[in-house]
Amino acid sequence: MNYEQIRFEVSERIARVTLNRPDRLNSFTTQMHGELRDALSRVAADGDARVLLLTGEGRAFCAGQDLSDRAVAPGAAPVDLGASIEENYRPLVLALRDLALPVVCAVNGVAAGAGANIALACDVVIATRSASFIQAFCKIGLVPDSGGTFFLPRLVGAARAMGLAMLGDKLSAEQAAAWGLIWKCVDDGEFVATTDALLAQLADAPTAGLAAIKRALYASNDNTLEQQLDVERDAQRTLGYSADYREGVAAFLDKRAPRFSGR
């Protein structure tokens, strides 16, 4: 597939996806969703990448759904938004969560509507200090989608989730980090270098172990302590037979840096 609304490249075990409609603040179209789905399925199938980066081109990360696609002439039938969620946003969130490698979202600017929640669907979210997060849905009579009603209360608690969702205020990257909505906020001048260092660290990491960490932490949302202890036991059993565990222990005992294969 030729990509027109995203950029996609894999090099040095890092897959980079850049939303690329900067004049529309990288808002989502059906075409962009199709391209994203294709790129994510390639990452899952190829096995070349050991970390995925999702970021945006220009001054925004993503302004959510392209609303110019939603304007209807008086008397014309409205768009079925449920179908749009089912075909586009739901599969995107689940694809990011299901990828068996870490997904880093580098929020390079404003993240609004579904753009904010797609960022939160990623495993590690780093934002530049001038970025912001806006649950813009309430301004147009909608509910936070793309997992927003799931992620927000779990990340920042019910009171802050309700305020963000009902008021649609702009939350600065710094405040988002202070509230625990994201992993880190870094100064604009350090954003690219910090993101690159994070990607390099994750690309060299024991990928199967990180995939198991991701599965276990997300599973904990619905589990009792006993169920979660079972998840940890089963993961540890599997990982205990892995090449990377063996390498990690050997490297520790040899007092050298490990060379993980990802398996």
Residues in contact with ligand T3D by CB under 6 A are 24-25, 27, 63-68, 70, 81, 84-85, 110, 112-114, 134, 136-137, 140, 142, 145
Q: Which is nearer to ligand T3D, 138 or 219 (CB)?
A: 138
Q: Which is nearer to ligand T3D, 63 or 208 (CB)?
A: 63
- DSSP E strands, the chain: 6-11, 14-19, 51-56, 60-62, 103-107, 110-112, 124-128, 132-134, 170-172, 184-186
Nearest residue to 173 (alpha-carbon basis) of 102, 105, 97:
105
3-state secondary structure 91-110: HHHHHHHHCCCCEEEEECCE
Residue with tokens 């600017």: 109
Which tokens sit at 176? 């988002």
Q: Which is nearer to ligand T3D, 32 or 202 (CB)?
A: 32
For the CB of residue 44, give the shortest distance to ligand T3D in the complex, in Å.
Answer: 24
In contact, 55 and 16? CB cutoff 8 Å = yes
The residue sitting closest to ligand T3D, measured at its beta carbon, is: 64
Q: Which is nearer to ligand T3D, 84 or 242 (CB)?
A: 84
For the CB of residue 22, give the shortest distance to ligand T3D in the complex, in Å.
Answer: 9
For the CB of residue 3, give the shortest distance to ligand T3D in the complex, in Å.
Answer: 20
- Rounded CA-CA distance 17/212 in Å is 23
Q: Which is nearer to ligand T3D, 32 or 39 (CB)?
A: 32
For the CB of residue 189, give the shortest distance to ligand T3D in the complex, in Å.
Answer: 21
Q: Which is nearer to ligand T3D, 70 or 246 (CB)?
A: 70
Which tokens sit at 262? 């990802």
For the CB of residue 26, give the shortest distance to ligand T3D in the complex, in Å.
Answer: 9
For the CB of residue 244, give the shortest distance to ligand T3D in the complex, in Å.
Answer: 38
| CA angle centred on 144, ends 166 and 132, rounded to 5° | 75
- Rounded CA-CA distance 129/184 in Å is 9
